Amino acid sequence: MKTRQLRDLTVSEIGMGCMGFSHGYGKVPDEDYSIEAIRKAYDYGCTFFDTAEVYGMQQFEKGHNERLVGKAIEPFRKEIILATKLHIDTDEVKTDGSLYNTIRRHFEASMQKLRTDYADLYYLHRINPDIPVEDVADVMGRFIKDGLIRGWGLSMVNKELLERANKVTPVSAVQNIYSMLDRDYEKKVIPYCAENNIGFVAFSPIASGFLSGKVTTETKFGFDDVRTWVPQMKKENIIANQPVLDLISSYANQKNATNAQIALAWMLKKYPHIVPIPGSKNQERILENLGAWKTELTDDEFEALDAALSKIAVHGSRKDVGFATEYID
């Protein structure tokens, strides 16, 4: 697989979001299947794996996903870029005595679960308005200097917060939602990242599976499935957004690819500094998504597709349910 840069980190141009093995998309597969899936992704050429300390809390316990990923990637740990995330509560900083102590405690707990002693990429999962982002950036700079992490990042941030953080310690990557149906960050954040050598890691690049075309008005979502509240998955929006599926399906047929592969290929063609991290708990889907790197759109095909997409009204933005709206610009 081709590679891309997240500042100084070299990653496969499509990464793997591992959350679904622990929660978020209904019943999870058993551990052996999940570990096999992660290792098959690596064998295919994926060198970028994403997790977080909180993944798993709904069905298991905090840290479940980190433990699973750590076990899976242990044989090839030094050959990959491993990313995890932390969230900081206001009260715990008071208890720990300093922000450095709090972040260090979170970090050490994650490294124990991940069976490693360093993180390639360490994200602040969500902004806590009580804690200045500059203070977090300063701690991350100390971590980099001490060799604990190779780079750091922010998730779901706007340009203003990103700019403030980047002035203190250069940011390696921003992980925000981005897909054909969620394009708000094209306005400011994505251009800022391009101008400042910051990678943009796109989560939910297939719009929680909608762009695959496999979700219908008859699809039922059960316990611990984010799609129960994602507006694009409401029956009326599935119907209203059909023109998007029709458009990408026409390209999929022409290119002998799947809808999901076209959605990813569009993203890769549009921005050279974007790395999508589709998440799936199904081995077949994982390899299908990674295979999108072979689906290349010509300049003419891309321009026609992009122009057509821009003319289609999207229904059911996540902003409609207050999804981190304070961080979108």
Give the catalytic positions in this structure. 55
Nearest to 209 by CA among 257, 281, 307, 268: 281
Q: At 23, give phi and psi (nearest 5°).
A: -175, 175
Phi then psi for 266, rounded to 5 degrees? -60, -45
Cα–Cα distance between 79 and 190 in angstroms, integer? 28
- What is the distance between the alpha carbons of residues 25 and 210, in angstroms, rounded to a whole number? 13
Nearest to 258, CA basis, from 278, 233, 235: 278
- Find residue 125's DSSP bridge partners: none
The residues pairing with 176 across neighbouring beta strands, listed in sequence order, are 202
- Closest alpha carbon to 17 in 286, 223, 262: 286
Cβ-contact 119, 86 below 8 angstroms: no
Q: Are residues 99 and 63 in contact, defined by beta-carbon separation less than 8 angstroms?
A: no
Those residues with Cβ within 8 angstroms of residue 222's Cβ, 6 or more apart along the chain or in another chain = 26, 27
φ/ψ of 67, rounded to 5, equals -65, -45
- DSSP 8-state code for residue 102: H
Closest CA to 286 of 74, 27, 34: 34
